């Protein structure tokens, strides 16, 4: 019986911080059993302090929902290196790009989330973001900073400063040449 429970829990234990793809970093506060529709289920009780939310995930569904342990330090370093790269913005409709960004944010993959932060980051010298761009940027930044803070045991504010420092080391993020600006305006109008 206990062997089966251990394999179902897949190494997760109480008081451990985890990443749940759709909500970010949470902490397993308990492992409890409940009866649902006549069946006994073992559940992880996960608390997301910042969202003021508690989630119950059946231990058997952990793999299918994509719940994972916090990223290791080398993966955090890779995510921070990703931030220093050149922003890759496809010339597709904003609605399609927004869906792709949303999918990356909810994938739980820290490097994919770092790509969204990098692609949507705007320095003071660049034009303002649209409301939806800003929302996606902040969602990605929040997920990334919470995981970095949990792994490095620092505050989220310190994690955001580390992310912004990495973004500042990226290629020159000044105003774009005039011809490119007109193409962007025409694309957004479409």
CATH 2.40.10.170 domain residues, the chain: 2-69
C-alpha–C-alpha distance, residues 69 and 165, integer Å = 26
Q: What is the pLDDT of residues 132-142, one digit of tens each?
A: 999 999 999 99
53-58 sheet: strands from edge to edge:
53-58, 39-48, 24-36, 17-20, 68-69
Give the per-residue pLDDT at 100: 96
CATH 1.20.58.1290 domain residues, the chain: 73-189
Give the per-residue pLDDT at 51: 87
Q: Give the CATH class of 73-189.
A: mainly alpha
What are the beta bridge partners of residue 57? 44
Mean pLDDT score of the chain, rounded to an integer? 86
Q: What is the pLDDT of residues 21-41, one digit of tens each?
A: 999 999 999 999 998 889 899
What fold does the segment set 2-69 form as a domain?
Thrombin, subunit H (2.40.10)
C-alpha–C-alpha distance, residues 182 and 60, integer Å = 52
Q: What is the dihedral of CA 94, 99, 105, 108, to 10 degrees?
A: -150
Residue 1 has pLDDT above 80, yes or no: no
Share of the chain above pLDDT 70, in %: 85
């Amino acid at each position: 019986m206990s062997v089966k429970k251990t394999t179902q829990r897949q190494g997760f234990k109480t008081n451990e911080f985890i990443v749940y793809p759709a909500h970010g970093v949470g902490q397993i506060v308990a492992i409890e059993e409940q009866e649902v529709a006549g069946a006994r289920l073992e559940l992880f009780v996960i608390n997301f302090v910042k969202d003021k939310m508690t989630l119950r995930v059946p231990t058997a569904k952990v793999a299918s929902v994509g719940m994972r342990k916090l990223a290791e330090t080398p993966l955090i370093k890779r995510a921070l290196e990703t931030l220093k790269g050149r922003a890759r913005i496809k010339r597709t409709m904003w609605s399609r790009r927004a869906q792709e960004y949303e999918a990356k944010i909810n994938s739980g993959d820290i490097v994919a989330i770092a790509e969204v932060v990098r692609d949507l980051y705007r320095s003071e010298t660049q034009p303002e973001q649209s409301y939806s761009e800003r929302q996606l940027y902040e969602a990605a930044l929040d997920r990334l900073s919470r995981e970095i803070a949990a792994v490095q045991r620092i505050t989220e504010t310190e994690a955001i400063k580390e992310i912004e420092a990495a973004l500042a080391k990226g290629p020159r993020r000044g105003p774009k040449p005039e011809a490119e600006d007109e193409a962007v305006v025409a694309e957004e109008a479409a």
